[in-house]
Chains A and B, each alone.
Chain A
Amino acid sequence: QKEVEQNSGPLSVPEGAIASLNCTYSDRGSQSFFWYRQYSGKSPELIMFIYSNGDKEDGRFTAQLNKASQYVSLLIRDSQPSDSATYLCAVSGSARQLTFGSGTQLTVLP
């Protein structure tokens, strides 16, 4: 079983719709959860992180964490073509390193 799992996609949504990206993790001791966006040929850039159960909003992005169910999700409201990218979920436990999922490719159709 992979430590961090994401649907590889591709996920396609029309412009203006809500894109929902999901991630599950296996280590119940995980403490911190991150979402990165990676454009084709570029390095990952941090979108947001979440530590506590519930929702965290930042502009058009909302991260949702449910530790009991061991999943974290990212919602993108009013999706734009510029949001088309691969989204990486990352999880950390007591160690300093992050464990990354393989990413979900999102395409926003104009």
Chain B
Amino acid sequence: SQTIHQWPATLVQPVGSPLSLECTVEGTSNPNLYWYRQAAGRGLQLLFYSVGIGQISSEVPQNLSASRPQDRQFILSSKKLLLSDSGFYLCAWSFPGVIKTQYFGPGTRLLVL
């Protein structure tokens, strides 16, 4: 069976500091990978998705970036955090190809002060 991990679980960072969130998937090969952000009481905003190593599509222009250095590893980064970057960051995966069902990791709660 497949499992997805995210860390850290919670993070408090000052404005202007860098960010690195990591997501890994086990039990499947070449998954599609996604980063979402959910602001308090809001829906899910797709930030990035990737269909393979080194392939990143950005959905929302902002001060965040994503990388996929390995098949089952997805990293979300920022050089300088803003207050508006606070939120619940969710990584998700789906099988490659046309299957759309996405499965979410436990999430990282980020508070920027």
Query: C-beta contact mask, B40-73 vs A, less than 8 Å → 1, else 0?
Result: 0011101001010000000100000000000000
Is B7 an interface residue, CB under 8 A from the partner? no
Assess the A43–B106 pair: CB atoms within 8 A: yes
Given contacts A44-B44, A88-B43, A88-B44, contact A98 B102 (CB under 8 A): yes
Query: C-beta contact mask, A99-110 vs B, less than 8 Å → 1, else 0?
Result: 111110000000
How many pairs of residues, A versus B, come closer than 8 Å at their CB atoms? 47
Secondary structure of the B contact surface, majority rule: strand
Given contacts A32-B100, A103-B43, contact A96 B49 (CB under 8 A): yes
Q: How many residues of B contact A (CB 8 A)?
A: 20
Is A92 an interface residue, CB under 8 A from the partner? yes
Chain B positions within 8 Å of A, measured between CB atoms, are 32, 34, 42-44, 46, 49, 51, 59, 90, 94, 100-107, 109
**Given A41-B109, A42-B106, A43-B90, 7 new contacts (CB under 8 A):** A32-B101, A34-B101, A42-B107, A46-B103, A96-B32, A96-B51, A97-B34
Chain A positions within 8 Å of B, measured between CB atoms, are 31-32, 34, 36, 41-46, 49, 88, 90, 92, 96-103
